[in-house]
Amino acid sequence: MKRRNFLGLGFTTMAVTALQTVGSASIFSEHPKAFMATTGDAALEDAYGTTSAMKDDKAKLKLPDIAENGGAVPVTVSTSLSNAKTMTLIIDGNPHPLAVTWELSEGTIPKFSTRIKMRKTGNVRLIVEDANGKLHVATKQVKVTVGGCGG
């Protein structure tokens, strides 16, 4: 019985350790305020400690010029940097501008597509954090004919 109890304890400890590892490495658990920020710059300040980002071709953002349905705007984000750490999508016209953060890992091709909600016409920014912690930005204005933050 004693041996059995000991093994059980081991598994519990392992499970707890695994959970902690997942949590501690994430931008979400370290910067929960960034996701609740009400301006894009406040979100960036909290997540990365700066709002200054280089406007170069390292960050690439693909969005339509006009979105007829603000509830589902197709977006593709990518970076030409092979060793970038994170990518963050900011929708400046939304009540909480920080829309998505991706953590990048080895083997992952840093090009992602999804669909986003936009409340109104405004800028969408893609921030790419490179291996040295420097930020790169791509900005694109999207005209929204019908807003889509309900729901």
How big is the CA angle at 49 (ends 43 and 51), to the nearest 5 degrees?
A: 65
CB 57 within 8 A of CB 137: no
Cβ 4 to another protein, closest distance in Å?
A: 27
End-to-end CA distance of the chain: 53
Element (H, E) at 93: none
Residue nearer to another protein on the CB measure, 134 or 149:
149
Q: What is the DSSP string of 57-77?
A: TTEEEE--SEES-TT-EEEEE
Q: Does the protein bind another protein through residue 107 (CB under 8 A)?
A: yes
Residue 100 CB neighbours (<10 A): 16
Q: Which of 58, 61, 63, 117 forms a contact with another protein (CB under 8 A)? A: 117
Q: Does the protein bind another protein through residue 148 (CB under 8 A)?
A: yes
Q: Output the CA–CA distances (angstroms, integers) from residue 78 to 31, 91, 102, 121, 138, in the order listed.
A: 23, 16, 11, 22, 10
Query: Which region, judged by CB under 8 A, interacts with another protein, from 3-11, 57-65, 99-107, 134-142?
Result: 99-107
Residue nearer to another protein on the CB measure, 39 or 114:
114
Q: Which of 113, 131, 141, 145 forms a contact with another protein (CB under 8 A)? A: 113
Q: Which of 38, 108, 141, 145 forms a contact with another protein (CB under 8 A)? A: 108
Q: Does the protein bind another protein through residue 94 (CB under 8 A)?
A: yes
Q: Which of 19, 72, 131, 146 forms a contact with another protein (CB under 8 A)? A: 72
Sites of contact with another protein (CB under 8 A): 26-28, 35, 71-73, 91, 94-96, 98-109, 111-117, 148-151
